[in-house]
Chains A and B, each alone.
Chain A
Amino acid sequence: MLDLILQSLAALADPTVILVILIAALYGLFIGSIPGLTVTMAVALFVPFAFFLDPIPAMAAIVTLQAMGIFAGDIPGALIRMPGTPASAAYTDDSYALSQQGKARLVLGVDVIASALGGLMGAIALIIGASALAEFALTFSSYEFFWLAVLGLSSTAFIAVASPIKGLVAVVLGLFLSTIGIDITLGFQRFTFGNPNLMGGISFIPAMIGLFGVSEVLRTMLRGEMHLAYARVEGGAAFLPALREVWRYRINALRGGIIGLISGVLPGAGADIGAWLAYGAAKRASKEPEKFGKGSMEAIVESGVANNSDLAAEWIPTLVFGIPGDAFTAVVIGILMLKGMRPGPAILHDYTNVLVAIYVTFIIANLLMVPLGFLAIRVSSYLLRVPRNILLPAILMMCIVGAYAINNDLFDVGLMLAMGVLGFILEANGFPVAPIVLGLVLGPLLEQSFMISLIKSDGNLALFVSRPVSLILGILTVIVWLSPLLRHLRQRLPTNH
C-alpha cells in the first residue's frame, strides 16, 4: 500500500498533473462561486478536456474541481444570499444573516475549514470503504448488479424529487436513449432509423453538455438577471477565529461529517440532500434552535462539513459498483468508461494506480482548499461582479466546441442542442434532469445484467432473489418504490382526520 501511495504521489508530482490540478481548482472555485452555474455544468464542460488527458490527471482534475466547486458555492450564499450551487442552499440564510451582522469574514473562514474537514473525512471513508466493499462485491453475480442498477436508478427517480412519477419518466427516457444504436447481442440496429450517426449510440458527452450546459444557458438567458448584487469582504476571511469557531462546534462537525458520509454512500442523495439532512440534525440537537435560519453558526459548521464529506463518499458506490449517486458521479462513470476503465469491484485490482491517485488527490485537494479558498474569498467581490451576459455566450461556445471535439462531428453539436432544449423544457415542467443522465450511463449495465440473469435463470424470475445479497437489494428496491406512496399517505393522514 505504502509504495503504491508513493508511486501515485510521484505520478501526481508530474508538472503537467500539478498544472492540471491547479487549473481545475481555480475553475471549480470560479464556477462554484457564480450562482446558477452548477458544479455539474463545470464538469460537463470539462469532460472534453478529460478526454484528451491521461487517466490520472483527468481524475485528479475532476476530484479537485468538485471539492472546490462545492465549497465555492458557499461564497455567494453568504454575500448575496444566492447559493452558488444547490449544495449550499441549506444554510444560505444563516450565512447571509451572519454576514449582515458584520461577520462575513468569520462565516467564510468557517466555510473553508468546514469544507476541507468534510472533504478529508470523506476521503478517509472513501479509502477504507472502497477497498472493503470491493472485496465483498467481488462475489456479486449478474443478479446483484441488476438489482444495484435498479436500486440506483429508482433512488434518483423517487427520492428527493418533487414528483416521483416524473422522476420515473426521466429515468426511463435516459434508459431508452441508451438503447439507441447497435445492440451488442445480435448486432441489430435499434431505433437508428437508418441514420449512420446513431449507430454507435447516443454519444454521452454531447448529451451531457446539452443537458447541463446548454439548458443552463437557456435558463439564465430567460431569467434575464445579468448583474448580481454587489458585495465585498473587507480584508478577506479570518483564519484563526474561524478555526476556533469550528473547534467550538466540533460535535456538529463530526456529526455533519457522518451524515454526509451516509447520504453520500446512498444512491440518489447528492451533496445538497446531505447538507439538508445535517441541517435538520443540527437543529434538532441544538440548544438554540430558534437561531436556525437567522444566523446559526452550528448549522453552517454541520452542513458545511456534510456537503463535502457527502461528495467524497459518493465516489464509493460509483467506483466499487459502478452505480453513481447523482449527476456528477454519473459523469465520472462516463469519463472512466471513456478511459476504458469499467467501474466495478474489479477496478481496484485492474487500475489500482489510478484509484490510489484518486485517493491521494482527494487529500491534496482538500488541503489545497484552505489557501485557495481564502484566496477565492479575497477576490470574490470581483468574481461576483462578472456580468452573466458576458459569461453566457462564452459558455455556449465552450459547449459547442466541447460537444464537437470528441468525434469532430457537427452531428454531435445537433445532439447537444436537442438534449439541451429537451432538458430545459423538461426541467421547466417539473421533470428532473439528473435521472436522464443516470439512465443513459447505467442503461447498458442494467440491460446486460438483466438479459444475462434472465437467460441464466431460464425465465425463472424467482432466481433473481435467490441469493441473500440480491434478495436484500430487491427488498430495498421495493422499499424505494413504495416510498413515494408512504410519503403521500403520511401527508394525507392529518387532513383526513
Chain B
Amino acid sequence: MSNWDILFGIMFAVLGAGIFLHAMTFPNLKGGYPGPGLFPQLLGILLVLSGVGIAINAALKRAFPQPRALFVPPYREKINALLVVLAVVLYILLADTVGFIPMAMLIMLGLMWRTGVSLRWSLVVGIGVTLGIYLLFQRILHVPLPSGILLKGWL
C-alpha cells in the first residue's frame, strides 16, 4: 500500500502547490492588508508539506517491506461498486428526461438483480421504496422531483 501512499502524497502536494499559486492571483484589501488569498495560500502550504511528508514516509517504509493483510475484493463486488457510481451518473444525465419514478425503479431493480435479490423482493422493494420516496418528498415536503418528459402532466 505504500506505493499508493507515495502517489497520494505527491498528488496532494501538487494540489497544494496549485491552490497556493492560484490563490496568489487573488486581490488584496486596501492598505496592503491581506485579502481573500491569504487563507487558501496557507492551506496550500500545509497541503504541500503534509503531502511531501506522506510521500517521504511511504518511501522510507517501502525500504523495509512490511507484511500487510489486505482485503482484495473479488471481481464481481468491484463491478457492483462501479455500478453504484454508474447508477448515480445515469441518474444525473437522464433524470430530467426520463423522470424520477422510472429512474429510481430502474436503479434499484438493477442493483438488486445484480446482487442476487429474488425478482419478487426486487419488485416489492423497488416499487415500494420509489413510491414511498415520491410521496414523502414530492407530496409531503413539496420537493419537485424530476417528472420527465413521458409522465409529464400525469404526476
Q: How far is the CB of A163 from chain B (nearest CB, A)?
A: 8
Complex-state Cα separation, A162 to B16, whole angstroms: 22
A interface with B by C-beta (< 8 Å):
49, 52, 165-166, 168-169, 172-173, 175-176, 179, 183, 185-186, 188, 190-191, 214, 217-218, 221-224, 226, 387, 389-390, 392-394, 396-398, 400-401, 404-405, 408, 410, 413-414, 416-417, 420-421, 429-431, 447, 450-451, 454-455
Some 15 contacts from A to B, beta carbons below 8 A apart, are A168-B50, A169-B47, A186-B27, A188-B27, A218-B84, A218-B85, A222-B78, A223-B77, A387-B117, A389-B116, A392-B115, A393-B108, A394-B108, A405-B141, A417-B92
Alpha-carbon distance between A226 and B116 when the two chains are bound, in angstroms: 9
Instruction: Evaluate contact between A186 and B35: CB separation under 8 angstroms.
Output: yes
Q: Shortest Cβ distance from B49 into chain A, in angstroms?
A: 9
A393 touches B112 (CB 8 A): yes
**Contact B107–A188 (Cβ < 8 Å):** no
Q: Is B139 an interface residue, CB under 8 A from the partner?
A: no
Interface residues on B, range: 35 or more
Task: List the A residue with the shortest CB-CB distance to B42.
Answer: A450
Chain B interfacial positions (CB closer than 8 Å to A): 1, 4-5, 8, 12, 16, 19, 22-23, 26-27, 29, 33-36, 38-40, 43, 46-47, 50-51, 53-54, 57, 71, 73-74, 76-78, 80-81, 84-85, 87-89, 91-92, 95-96, 100, 104, 107-108, 111-112, 115-117, 121, 125-126, 129-130, 133, 137, 141, 143-146
A221 to B129, CA, bound (A): 19
Closest residue of chain A to B133, judged by CB?
Answer: A401
Specify the chain A residue showing the minimal Cβ separation from B22.
Answer: A191
Given contacts A400-B91, A429-B5, whether A166 and B40 have CB atoms under 8 Å apart is: no
What DSSP secondary structure best describes chain B's contact surface? helix
Do A224 and B54 touch (CB < 8 A)?
A: no
Q: How far is the CB of A388 from chain B (nearest CB, A)?
A: 9
Give the CA-CA distance A491 to B100 in the complex, in Å: 55
In the complex formed, the residue of A with least CB distance to B124 is A390
Please measure, in the bound complex, the distance between the C-alpha atom of A392 and the C-alpha atom of B133, giving whole angstroms: 15
**CA of A389 to CA of B108, assembled, Å:** 10
Inside 8 A of B107's CB, which chain A residues have their CB?
Answer: 393, 396-397
Instruction: Give which listed residue, B40, B73, B92, B141, contacts A224 with CB less than 8 A.
Output: B73
Report the bound CA distance from A405 to B138 in whole Å. Answer: 10
Contact A429:B8 (CB < 8 A) given known A186-B27, A188-B36: yes
Q: Which residue of B lies closest to A387 (CB)?
A: B117
Is the pair B50, A165 in contact by a Cβ cutoff of 8 Å?
A: yes
Evaluate contact between B141 and A52: CB separation under 8 angstroms: yes
Task: Please name the residue on chain A nearest to B122 by beta carbon.
Answer: A390
A389, B40: Cβ atoms closer than 8 Å: no
